[in-house]
A and B are shown apart, each in its own frame.
Chain A
Amino acid sequence: MQNVLSILFCLSLFYLSVTSRVKAYVTILRFQGLLLTVLLVFPFIHHFSIFALILPATLFIVKVIVIPRYINKIILDLDIKRVIEPTIQPFTFLLLVIFSMVVVFVASNILSKSADIETIPFASGFTAIVVGIFVIIFRKKLIIHVAGFLVLENGIFLFGTAVASELPMMIELGTLLDIFVVVFLMGIAINKISSTLAGFDVTVLGRLKD
């Protein structure tokens, strides 16, 4: 099941690389959040406990409901144009994503021989980290940068489940809270940037230089 979810996660990354609509990014974030929630709930299906549901429930609220809604609100409030402004062609971007995915999967397969890791979730998570960075590098809009950052964070989360991370629940909740506040602050900053600097993309940020 973990493998199926991870592959679905990878498919969402492909969609992310070809779409040119801002809204689609929000949908992808929602979908990835949902996948991660299912991934967390799944091990507890047979021995259900309320306590074990706290983390998946928080994850669901933060990543599927609150953050996507907040990003949608910013898009509507600021009337951000509906298309992302890429700096490279979508096809080139897709090739780049496929290439990195292949490299990460092959490398993970080699690594899995020397360590006890689940190859598919491990590689999917790491690919998402790389794709998140690509999104930040090759897109102009700041709101898409935030989405890229969230894809990267989702990748780390998936990756964390693959390495059987033993982070206690309190810490996991803390990380979720931190991510939420980061996105919240970034949202406020984008609002201010659009009103002060009259723009929503990186080209307006060029004042600080040596």
Chain B
Amino acid sequence: MFEFSILIFIPLLSAVVCYFITNIRLQFSVTLFVSALHLIFSLMIFIGWYQPELPFYFSTDSLSKLFLPVLSNVYFWVVLVSFSYLKKQTTANSEEGKKYYFLLLNFYLFANTAAILSNHFGMYWVAVEGTTLSVAPLIYYYRNEEALEAMWKYLFLVSIGIAFAFIGILFLTLSANGTLLEGKQLFFPEFVKHASELNPVWLKASFIFIFVGLSTKIGIAPMHSADVDATSNSPSPIAALMSGSLRVTALLGVMRIFQIVQPTSTYQFAKTILIIGGLLSLFVAFVFMFKVNNYKRMLAYSSIEHLGIITLGIGIGGLAFVGAMYHVIYNSLNKIVLFFTAGNIHRKYKTREVEGVSSVLNILPWSGWLIMISFLSISAIPPFGIFFSELMIFEGILFSNKPWILAVTMFLLLFIFINMGKTLFQMLYKKNEGEIILIKKERFEIIHFATIVLLMLLIAIAVISPNILHDNIVNISKDFGIKL
């Protein structure tokens, strides 16, 4: 019960405490303490120093052991920079949004941890809906018209999406009719064990509903629109939280059902659906990158692109699956960096439009250089981690039975890279006519520190490639029946 308290109960308690404390600094200190504790514990569980014994409906396996530190890490950095972010007011009404900021963050950690550690579809569903409920008010932090619209769309569309996932879960119960699983409730491990006995028709329906439903949250095209609006209009730490951890938690649900489908005749069908979803997301990112004029929206499309690559990798299987698991980690780290630096630019220029931003390298040298480096990193330039994970995914695709997918992917990625680079370099170097820039030194802040550490982490994980991480990913692959 001890580990359960640390990981799930304390965040909830901390949310309650934040409700009663009015001082933002104190709220921040409590939340930061909880996030550090959560991070330490997740890492201990991941490394294997600690074997948690969780109560009913919760357990750990290789997959949750990998996803838990991803969440803790994103959450820790987001909380760390939040205070300095909140101190500087961006819009007139954002003062009101501060009141419940840390409360909602704590509730988010509670719900998301419960979702990752759950071993029951029902519990997973309740927890994932809980994450939507905690994030939606955070999207409305700026209290302006765009944020309101984004919050409404996110809340509404994702709730409907999750309702669809629930129908999928009910179909899964139907597929277990007449098998050993009947009457045994919806525990993942039981379903994985007896997957071959499930009724294929209902299983297929279940996969489609769960995949389409959760796509609204993962941001897989064509269900991505609410996600893009929400990510681009929320404050940068929240956008980082959504891109780095929330989408991944929703992906976990899809992976759970994919694991169940794996030994059945529905496997090929599920793989095809994942590949189509991945390619479609890449295509959507490709198209919108041509006309994007809002840099935060551009980053939101970049999230869609990378989740698309991950889905594609999972769908292809083999080495691409291993690459996709690495990509989950690297993408989450990289998205924090990108959104943090973009947040700095937004704070200075007070606009998200690319047109309104110029000479970033002169005006905000720290943020400017850091966003440039993180752009290189997200574009898979070595020695950053994304290069290695994408290489693995590409190799996996090349040696699969559908090598043509590699050509399509490379083509789409090339144009995404060019267009993203064009937009970003315009912001960094463009000088407006007659503009006189007084070169000022940008103050080194906690956000810059976080960004530099995370960028170094992106290189370190890739270069050192810790055995423990590799073994864990190999274990996940084994759980998914992948022979390497």
Are B156 and A205 in contact, CB atoms less than 8 angstroms apart? no
Are B173 and A182 in contact, CB atoms less than 8 angstroms apart? no
Please name all residues of chain B whose beta carbon is closer than 8 Å to the beta carbon of A136 when the two chains form the complex: 160
Are B297 and A152 in contact, CB atoms less than 8 angstroms apart? no
B163 within 8 A of A: yes
A19 within 8 A of B: no
Q: How many B residues are at the interface, by size bracket?
A: 35 or more
Q: How far is the CB of B132 from chain A (nearest CB, A)?
A: 8
Question: Chain B's interface: helix, strand, loop or mixed, by majority?
Answer: helix
A88 within 8 A of B: no
Are B297 and A175 in contact, CB atoms less than 8 angstroms apart? no
Whole-angstrom CA separation of A120 from B214 in the bound complex: 28
Whole-angstrom CA separation of A205 from B153 in the bound complex: 9
Please name all residues of chain B whose beta carbon is closer than 8 Å to the beta carbon of A67 when the two chains form the complex: none
Are A197 and B126 in contact, CB atoms less than 8 angstroms apart? no
Using CB atoms, name the residue of chain B closest to A162. Answer: B170
Are B156 and A197 in contact, CB atoms less than 8 angstroms apart? no
B324 within 8 A of A: no
Question: Which residue of B149, B163, B291 contacts A205 across the interface (Cβ within 8 Å)?
Answer: B149
Are A207 and B146 in contact, CB atoms less than 8 angstroms apart? yes
Are A182 and B155 in contact, CB atoms less than 8 angstroms apart? yes
Whole-angstrom CA separation of A193 from B153 in the bound complex: 12
A196 within 8 A of B: yes
A186 within 8 A of B: yes
Please name all residues of chain A whose beta carbon is closer than 8 Å to the beta carbon of B146 when the two chains form the complex: 207-208
Map CB proximity to A onto B136-174 as digits: 1 under 8 Å, 0 otherwise. 110010000110111111011001100100110011011
Q: A159-B167, A166-B185, A197-B148 are in contact. Are A210 and B291 (CB under 8 A)?
A: yes
A1 within 8 A of B: no
Using CB atoms, name the residue of chain A closest to B183. Answer: A166
Are B201 and A114 in contact, CB atoms less than 8 angstroms apart? yes
Using CB atoms, name the residue of chain A closest to B162. Answer: A178
Q: How far is the CB of B303 from chain A (nearest CB, A)?
A: 15
Are B123 and A205 in contact, CB atoms less than 8 angstroms apart? no
Whole-angstrom CA separation of A166 from B173 in the bound complex: 8
Please name all residues of chain B whose beta carbon is closer than 8 Å to the beta carbon of A143 when the two chains form the complex: none
Chain A residues 179-198 with CB under 8 Å of chain B are: 181-182, 185-186, 189, 192-193, 196-197
Q: How far is the CB of A193 from chain B (nearest CB, A)?
A: 6
Are A168 and B122 in contact, CB atoms less than 8 angstroms apart? yes
Using CB atoms, name the residue of chain A closest to B125. Answer: A175
Whole-angstrom CA separation of A172 from B152 in the bound complex: 25
Please name all residues of chain A whose beta carbon is closer than 8 Å to the beta carbon of B152 when the two chains form the complex: 142, 186, 189, 193, 205
A85 within 8 A of B: no
B120 within 8 A of A: yes
B202 within 8 A of A: yes
A45 within 8 A of B: no
Map CB proximity to A onto B194-212 as digits: 1 under 8 Å, 0 otherwise. 0000010110000000000
Are B177 and A210 in contact, CB atoms less than 8 angstroms apart? no
Q: How far is the CB of B287 from chain A (nearest CB, A)?
A: 9
Are A115 and B177 in contact, CB atoms less than 8 angstroms apart? yes
Using CB atoms, name the residue of chain B closest to A190. Answer: B152
Are A193 and B122 in contact, CB atoms less than 8 angstroms apart? no
Are B167 and A197 in contact, CB atoms less than 8 angstroms apart? no
A89 within 8 A of B: no
Whole-angstrom CA separation of A171 from B125 in the bound complex: 9
A49 within 8 A of B: no
Q: A129-B167, A160-B170, A182-B129 are in contact. Are A152 and B148 (CB under 8 A)?
A: no
- Chain B residues packing against A (C-beta within 8 Å): 120, 122-123, 125-126, 129-130, 132-133, 136-137, 140, 145-146, 148-153, 155-156, 159-160, 163, 166-167, 170-171, 173-174, 177-178, 183-186, 199, 201-202, 229, 233, 288, 291-292, 297
The 6 closest A-B pairs by CB, nearest first: A171-B122, A174-B126, A178-B129, A208-B229, A167-B122, A116-B177
17 A-B contact pairs sorted by A residue (CB < 8 Å): A114-B199, A114-B201, A145-B156, A156-B170, A160-B170, A164-B173, A165-B170, A166-B184, A174-B126, A175-B125, A181-B133, A182-B132, A193-B152, A196-B145, A207-B149, A208-B146, A210-B288
Q: A156-B166, A185-B133, A208-B146 are in contact. List 13 more A-B contacts (CB 8 A).
A: A115-B201, A129-B167, A136-B160, A156-B167, A156-B170, A175-B166, A182-B159, A185-B155, A197-B149, A208-B149, A208-B150, A210-B288, A210-B291
